[in-house]
Structure 1
Amino acid sequence: MTALAKSSENTAVVKPRNRATFAVTLVALAALLVVCSTAGLALGSVHVPPAEVWGIVTHALGADWTEPTWTRARETIVLDVRGPRVLLGAVTGAGLAVVGTALQALVRNPLAEPYLLGASSGASLGAVAVIVFGSSFFGTVSLSAAAFAGALGALVLVYAAARTGGRITSMRLVLAGVAVASVLNALLNLLLLTTDNGNEARTVLAWTMGGLGGVSWGSLRLPGLALLLGIAVLMVQAPNLNLLLAGEEAAATMGLDVARFRARMFVLVSLVTGVLVAAAGPIGFVGLMLPHIVRLLVGGDHRRVLPAAALGGASFLILSDIVARTVTAPEEIPVGVLTALCGGPFFLWLMRRDARKKAGGPA
Structure 2
Amino acid sequence: MVQDLKNSSTRQNEKGVGLLDSLYRRHFWVMIVIVSMSLLSLIIAPMFGLTFLTPWSQGSDIFWQMRVPRTLAAWLVGAGLSLSGLVFQAILRNPLAEPFTLGVAAGASLGAAIYIYFGVTLTLGVISGISFFAFIGAGLITVMIYQVNFRSGHSPFKLLLMGVILTFFISSILMLLQSLGKSSSALAMMSWMMGRLSFVSLMDLYQLLGVTILCFALIYRYLPELNLLQQGEVVALSRGVNSGRVMGLLFLIVSLMTGVFVAIAGPIGFVGMVIPHVSRKLLGADHRRLFLAVIFLGGFVLVVADTLGSMILKPAEIPVGVVTAIFGAPFFLFVLLREGRVQKFIAPKDNN
The TM-score normalised by the length of structure 1 is 0.81
RMSD of aligned C-alpha atoms? 2.7
Q: Does residue 1:148 correspond to 2:135, yes or no?
A: yes
Write the distance in 2 (CA, Å) between the matches of 1:156 and 1:244: 22
Matches within 5 A, 1:320-359: 320-359=305-344
How far apart, CA to CA, are the structure 2 residues paired with 1:16 and 1:149?
A: 49
Contact 1:123–1:150, Cα closer than 8 Å, also in 2: yes
Q: 1:311 to 1:121 in 2, by over 3 A?
A: same
Over 3 Å counting, the alpha-carbon distance change for 1:138 and 1:248 in structure 2 is: farther
1:186 matched to 2:172? The reply is yes
CA distance in 1, matches of 2:71, 2:299: 9
Question: CA-to-partner distance for each residue in 1:100-145, whole Å, 9 max, x for gaps?
Answer: 0001111111100011221111111123333444274855435444
Q: Which residue of 1 aligns with 2:8?
A: none
d(CA) in 1 for partners of 2:154, 2:208? 34
- Residue by residue over 1:202-237, the C-alpha shift from the partner in whole angstroms, topping out at 9 and shown as x without a partner, is 222201000110222222111111111221111110
Q: Is the 8 A contact 1:112 1:288 kept in 2?
A: yes
For the 8 Å contact 1:161–1:176, the answer to whether it is kept is no
The answer for the alignment partner of 1:235 in structure 2 is 220
- Larger Rg belongs to: 2
Q: Of the candidates 9, 28, 31, which is equivalent to residue 26 of structure 1?
A: 31
Structure 2 residue corresponding to 1:123, chosen from 108, 117, 140: 108
* Correspondences of 1:219-298 after superposition (within 5 Å): 219-298=204-283
What CA distance in whole angstroms lies between the structure 1 residues aligned with 2:115 and 2:286? 39
Q: Hey, what's the Cα distance between the residues in 2 that align with 1:98 and 1:256?
A: 21
* Cα gap change, 1:353 to 1:161, in 2 (>3 Å): farther
The aligned residue for residue 9 of structure 1 is none
Deviation (angstroms), 1:241: 0.8
C-alpha distance 162-16 of structure 1, shift in aligned 2 (>3 A): farther
2:285 to 300, 316, 319: 300
8 Å Cα contact 1:159-1:173 kept in structure 2 = no
The C-alpha deviation readout for 1:243-275, integer Å capped at 9, x for no partner, is: 111211221222222222122112111121011
Aligned residues: 325
Q: In the aligned structure 1, how far is the partner of 2:133 from the partner of 2:73? A: 20
1:206–1:16 distance in 2 versus 1, CA, 3 Å = farther
TM-score norm. by structure 2 comes to: 0.83
What is the CA-CA distance between 1:351 and the residue it aligns to?
1.1
Residue 65 of structure 1 corresponds to which residue in structure 2? none
Task: Tell which deviates more after alignment, 38-47 or 150-159.
Answer: 150-159
Q: Is the CA contact 1:16–1:299 (under 8 Å) kept in the aligned structure 2?
A: no
Q: Is 1:85 the counterpart of 2:85 in the alignment?
A: no
Distance between the aligned counterparts of 1:111 and 1:269, measured in 2?
16
Matched, 1:176 2:181: no
CA distance in 1, matches of 2:284, 2:274: 15
CA distance in 1, matches of 2:207, 2:24: 34
User: Does residue 1:47 correspond to 2:52, yes or no?
Assistant: yes
Q: For the structure 1 residues 113 and 105, does the alpha-carbon distance in structure 2 shift closer, same or farther, using more than 3 Å as the test?
A: same
Displacement of 1:291: 0.3
Check whether the contact 1:36–1:315 (CA below 8 A) recurs between aligned residues.
yes
Match of 2:42 in 1: 37
Question: 5+ unaligned residues in a row in structure 2: which ranges?
Answer: 1-19, 347-352
Q: Is the 8 A contact 2:126 2:203 kept in 1?
A: no
Asked if the contact 2:154–2:244 (Cα under 8 Å) also holds between the matched residues in 1, the reply is no
Letter in 2 for 1:151: A
Q: Is the 8 A contact 2:104 2:142 kept in 1?
A: yes
Q: Which residue of 1 aligns with 2:297?
A: 312
Is contact 2:236–2:243 with CA below 8 Å preserved after alignment? yes
Superposed, 1:158-169 pairs within 5 Å as 168=155
